[in-house]
Structure 1
Amino acid sequence: MEQLEQHFRPEERPFVERMAEWAELVRERHHPRLTPFLNPREQLIIRSVVGHAPDVKVKLWGGFQQAERKRAWIIPDYLDVTWDEFQLALLNIKASQWVNVTHRDVLGSLLGLGLKREVVGDILITPETIQVIVVQEMEEYIRLHLTRIGRHQVQAEKADWSALTVPEEEWQAVTAIVSSLRLDVIVAECTRQSRTKAVQLIESGRVKVNWKVEDRPAEVLKEGDTISIKGYGRFLFQEIDRKTRKDKFRIHLGFKK
């Protein structure tokens, strides 16, 4: 366990330990465990943790294949689960008219009901529809209490999964060659600015790593990290391709405005 933990940040270790404990309980008692919604970094962590545990496996699902936020079942390796066992619900949010409603507006209204982020999955916005994937047990509560998003009066209705409308994939693939995996180096690459400017962005609190403000320029990033830069968009550190002859890193990033 100690050897596994050293691959993760100190603030991630409580989650690593909890998932390791769950995996061990599943192995010993053969009783599956279902997580709340996990962000992509947490999904990577749980796959790593369960991958090191004998006789157990992990299955992920968020309502559709490309979902960003997913729940995970930790199960004995002789079992399997179907998509409906992830206990998800799809809600359509209706209003007489939508004007410039953003992901942040919808999420803010949901959290304003007292919900935790972990019970809300992907928020899907198209010109015609707004849909939200949530844990099944919160579906009725949201339908009863979500009456407003911004200036709009709204009504949330349960929808059949056949009505799911997935927006076109917005991630753009980016390949970069960087001298190190430090946050300031990668932020400089993402924003096409100098490291000095990148450090200013970081130290002014405009950069988040895995949805938390990160003000340490020397923080070393790991595969699966999501970097949000205010005014520049969101970047997913997908993987390290290889090292170059000059001992630099060739990395793959995903970019979303």
Structure 2
Amino acid sequence: MVVQFPPAGGDESRPTRRRARSADGGAARGRSPEGDTLAPVTYLPGARPSAEAQEALARVRAVQESDEQDSGRATVARGANGRDRATTRANNVAIHQLARRGMSRWELEQVLAKREVDELTAAAELDRLESVGLVDDAALAVSVVYAMHARKGAGRTAIEMELRRRHLDDDVIAEAMAELDDDDELERATDLATTRARQLRAQPYEVAARRLNAYLARKGYDGDVVRAAVRTALSDHPRDSQGGHGRGRDGVRFR
């Protein structure tokens, strides 16, 4: 009776080839059929993988490393896309607000914060808008001074209060206020008082003077300007409605 033994290493080579085919086929992409990442192969002490197995494992590891790199790039891309979306949103909000009216940097910053734009993105967008001249606190201050003084007849006090309300810097406010000339301010106050005095012709002098003083004070003119303007505006106003020149019906002289 002749007993034949399998060739040495035969039992080892067949499982090895099966492992190699599995690594090269079903898991060549570095993942199991269920989609999980393959665990690294560990050989028992003394066991040596065949050349085919070593080559297959090398291919699997290369695929796994490529997948990890792709995953890292995808994460970076998602982060970049998120930043791009935040920047675009900040720009859209800012441009929409600036199209409605001029705004200081502080005012626009408050709007972006209310719209939940993060601080870093908002600061970058505000810097960009300043660099292209769409946000310009100095120009805004001059525009406010002109609009309030020339068109609305406001005085220094009211104009300065408005500039501070909009959180403009002290230097910017001072430079813009320097555009106002004292003579121009007195002339503007006198024009306003004269126009309003025509509506008060039927009122006694003291009543007309009191109302004009209050009117100009609300406009933001200081005391000296108000007194001078009222005096000029009422220069031809009868001293009382009865023509008594300073006396009321009871003969009391007004001061």
TM-score between the two structures when normalised by the length of structure 2: 0.22
Larger radius of gyration: 2
More helix by share: 2
TM-score between the two structures when normalised by the length of structure 1: 0.22
Larger RCO, structure (CA 8 Å, separation 6 or more): 1
